[in-house]
Amino acid sequence: MTAHVCRQCSADVSVLRLDRVEGENSGIHVTIEGLPVLDCSNGHRRFPTPDFPLEFIRHLVESEALDGVTPAVQKGLFRKRLLCPACGKELSSVAEDRRNGRAHVAVPEGDPVAVEVIVPLYRCPACDKQASEPESGLQRDVMQAVANAFRSAEIPPG
């Protein structure tokens, strides 16, 4: 049953669930399984609703996918440094580990979508704790990784 027509060619569209879509940005890797898109017989795709991308990202950031990730503290105006949130010492500049988080993200009128987020972690040489990039950068990079995943599935932004 289709309730929409393609904006590009006026063909009927149906909801298609994409098996696996991946994107990456600044070391953050996102894998989305079961992403719903509207697809026509001529291969044109679009999101189910105009606000779908922003709502999806908002639900992802609020989900348990990023639980267990402790953001670093960023200091410095010109030479930015990442500091351990536990002891305040400077973190290693090279990611030494990764945190894999999974979540099921709610989408309008459908089953939740499975998402895996892999976040690079930096180790503190003083107390051995691990932290990700600062929260603002983490959210920005997750958002860009999701946008790259959408782009890889050839879903236009508008």
Residue with tokens 């060619």: 9
pLDDT of residue 111 exceeding 50: yes
The candidate with the shortest Cα–Cα distance to 73, out of 95, 61, 89, is 89
The model's pLDDT over 1-41, given as tens digits with 9 standing for 90+, comes to 335 788 888 899 999 999 999 999 999 999 999 999 999 98
pLDDT at 97: 95
Residue 122 lies in a domain: yes
Residue 147 lies in a domain: yes
The model's pLDDT over 47-81, given as tens digits with 9 standing for 90+, comes to 988 899 999 999 999 999 999 899 999 998 788 88
The total of structural domains in the chain comes to 1
Residue 87 lies in a domain: yes
Residue 12 lies in a domain: no
Taking the alpha carbons at both ends of the chain, their separation in whole angstroms is 23
pLDDT at 3: 52
